[in-house]
Amino acid sequence: MPAPEIGLAVVDPRRLPALSALPVLRAGDIAEFLGDDAALETLPADAAASHLYFGSEFCEHLFPDEAALERAIELSGKLGLSLVLATPAANDALVAKIGQAAAILPEGAEILVNDWGVARFLRRAYPRLPLVAGRQLAKMIKDPRVPSAAWLKPYPGSYGTPGHRRLLERLGIGRIELDVPPFATPDLYSVDGIDLSVCLPYAYVAKGRICKIGSLRRELPEKFAPGRSCHRECLGVVEVGAAASSAGLVSSARGNSTFYRHDAAMAALVRDMVAQGRVTRLVFSGV
Amino acid sequence: MKVTAPISRIDEIPTLAAAGADELYCGVVPKEWIARFNTGAVNRRYFGNLGDLEELRRAVELAHHSAARLFMVLNAQSYGGGYQDALVELAGRFRDFGGDAVIVADIALIAELRERLPDLAIHVSSVAGCRNSAGIGLYRELGVKRVILPRDVTLDEVGAMAQAADGVEIEAFVLNDGCVFEEGSCHSIHLPAKQGGPICVDNRAFVYRDGRGGQISARTARKLRDNDADYQRWLWYRFGCGFSTTAEGHPFGPCGLCAISRLEAMGVASIKIAGREGASERKLKSVEMVRAVVDRVHGGSPHREAAAFAVGIRNTEEHCRAGFMCYYPEVRWQ
């Protein structure tokens, strides 16, 4: 099969040092880093990673500060990886921070955007930076509980229309990233004229700004309100699902996002899409 | 500042307009659509829609007769390519009936409608999740008239976006919509109750583990349990306090009445009452509450006075004090 690019996504800056002793980042190293041999079983252990993703696609409070970003820049340079700065939906204050971060990104870095406004801002302010449209912009039903493919039919993936492709061109977006939802079919990954990444081995459904665990250390009146800072409690605690859905998927949650591991059919679809050359980058992450 | 309210039946139009709604919005699921696509998914709601195009035509007529404007929702997060022509055709019929604007979330559909129906006003749905001034700028370039902000924004954020809107009208939530999942982020679906219902009720069974899958300490577990209890209480408020009302029929649930004065001062063009699928009485009482506060504000009441009046309408200050029923809890904190 054609060799895809390989990315490792890291959200928690405290995990970066675990990679710093490596001379290069190979698939086997990613499996060890994630503590998940099965996630990369389809790749040769010596396949080399090409990209380091850093930051959160789902939460405004996990956007890295300058020091953490500088460590990620240094690490990606040392490992010979292209850095991809992940960004979530943003208010005006975060858009400004994203702009400051964009200004220090090295040549070859990309920004993963999950907000059309952020994309427009970056295209105008930093036209040199390649943009990747993230999973939050790829509208589709990813509910782990759907009992059959029929539930997905009314709202198919959003990138199937010419209008979306024109929008991506207008914003200078050359790559899109997709999840693998239950009952996904190859047509979801038939997007002409644009590079395609798939995130694995988990699919995510983000709730939004209200975060239960992010309110853990807040006093009662200020809990569960938008825009309040948190102590990033989600980096240390996960809600592990106790039961499978009718589709056989066990959904867990971290912070404001629900996630579930791909089943055998979903993993097989990814392999097929890579083999056919439709998916050209695989982005691996832990829970 | 306009009061914008939902309808699901045309007999609600004169009643809500008389109660103070300046603008109304509706969905429609034409029989021809179901026959053609074998689905009722014309917008984000399967229920609470007008049943055919003749009803839609009469709704426009009745709204205008009642001195109100009528908008139609085409607000699914996205539609596949097979639906685009039918959506433009439906929007064109609405325009021909005299409809005032369509409410759209799918950014590609917005561009398509602007190109093919340039004289039809477009409002960006809250489902689009536009949360910053740059986003409003993008939608301005696409030729929209209004952006409806998502539900979970702060007043400071509303103010910043309103200031940068540069001719685009801003609409903000004021009553009734309370899902846990923000529509612009959510990729789930409302299933029948026996298959789990809406995912947003958050009733999934789970156990807490540390980031590596290990056990958490007893102390942390205790804190998490307490936080979960608070969260369950918040969920009760988020879902309309069990969809309850005062003895006078005023609905509880997510509310921004005390922020109306501030929203007006920021230049917000309209405030949105959610709940197309709700009962007619709930919609009527909602409009009455919002109109009463807006009239106070338009009459010159200062912020604090208008907020105190708003809190007094339901005569249940304990709910307001809890802070969990608020779209804009910072009003109470300030």
Q: Do B133 and A92 touch (CB under 8 A)?
A: yes
Interface test with B, best of A114, A176, A223 (most B CBs within 10 A): A223
B197-225: average pLDDT = 87
A76 and A69 Cβ atoms separated by less than 8 Å: no
The token pair that represents A159 in the structure block: 């990138």
For residue A179 the two structure tokens come to 């999840």
pLDDT at A185: 93
Q: Which of B166, B227, B327 to mutate to test the interface with A (most CBs of A within 10 A)?
A: B227
Q: How many CB pairs under 8 A join A and B?
A: 238
DSSP state of A222: G
Q: Considering only residues 57 to 116 of chain B, which have any Cβ-Cβ distance to chain A shorter than 8 Å?
A: 76-81, 84, 106-109, 111-112
Inspect the interface and report whether the beta carbons of A117 and B130 lie closer than 8 Å: yes
- What are the structure tokens assigned to B284, written together? 């009527």
pLDDT band at B197 (very low <50, low <70, confident <90, very high): confident
Strand, coil or helix: B307: helix
Hey, what's the torsion of the CAs at B181, B182, B184, B189, to 10 degrees? Answer: 30
Q: For the segment B97-115, what is each residue's pLDDT rounded down to a tens digit?
A: 999 999 999 999 999 999 9
User: CA–CA distance from B333 to each of A222, B320, B328 (Å)?
Assistant: 9, 11, 10
Q: Which residues pair with A259 in a beta bridge?
A: A204, A252
| Min distance A258 CA to chain B CA atoms (Å) | 10
- State the pLDDT at residue B40: 84
For A51-108, the pLDDT digits (tens) are 999 999 999 999 999 999 999 999 999 999 999 999 999 999 999 999 999 999 999 9
Phi, psi of A108 (to 5 degrees): 90, -10
Tokens 């001062």 label which residue? B265
Closest CA to B2 of B61, B65, B62, B69: B69
pLDDT for res B69: 98
Residue B124: Cβ within 10 Å count: 28
DSSP assignments along B92-123, one per residue = HHHHHHT--EEEE--HHHHHHHHHH-TTS-EE
- Out of A142, A212, A227, closest to residue B157 by CB: A227
Distances (CA, A) of B201 to B180, B191, B231: 7, 12, 11
> What is the model's pLDDT at position B90?
97
What share of chain B has pLDDT > 70, as a percent? Answer: 99
Q: DSSP letter for A131, please.
A: E
Looking at beta carbons, which residues of chain B come within 8 Å of A156? 78-80
Q: How confident is the model at residue B333 (pLDDT cuts 50, 70, 90)?
A: low
**CA–CA dist B164, B167 (Å, integer):** 9
The answer to whether B201 faces chain A, any CB pair under 8 Å, is: no
Facing B206 at nearest CB: one of A153, A227, A252: A252
Thinking of the domain A5-202+262-284, which architecture would CATH place it in?
A: Alpha-Beta Barrel (3.20)
- Residues of chain A positioned with their CB less than 8 A from the CB of B131: 89-91, 115, 117
| CA atoms lying within 13 Å on the CB side of residue A198 | 26
The first and second tokens of residue A133, run together, are 């449209």
Percentage, residues of chain B above pLDDT 90: 78
Q: How confident is the model at residue B276 (pLDDT cuts 50, 70, 90)?
A: very high
- C-alpha distances in Å from residue A96, one per residue of A54, A92, A99, B2, B163: 18, 6, 5, 32, 16
Give the model's pLDDT for residue A193: 87
Cβ atoms of B102 and B71 within 8 Å: the answer is yes
User: Cβ–Cβ of B80/A237 closer than 8 Å?
Assistant: no
ipTM above 0.85 for this complex: yes
Placement of tokens 């007999």 in the chain: B11
Low-confidence ranges of chain A (pLDDT < 70): 1-2
pLDDT of residue A1: 58
* Arithmetic mean of pLDDT over chain B: 93
The CB density around residue B112, as the number of other CB atoms within 10 Å, is: 22
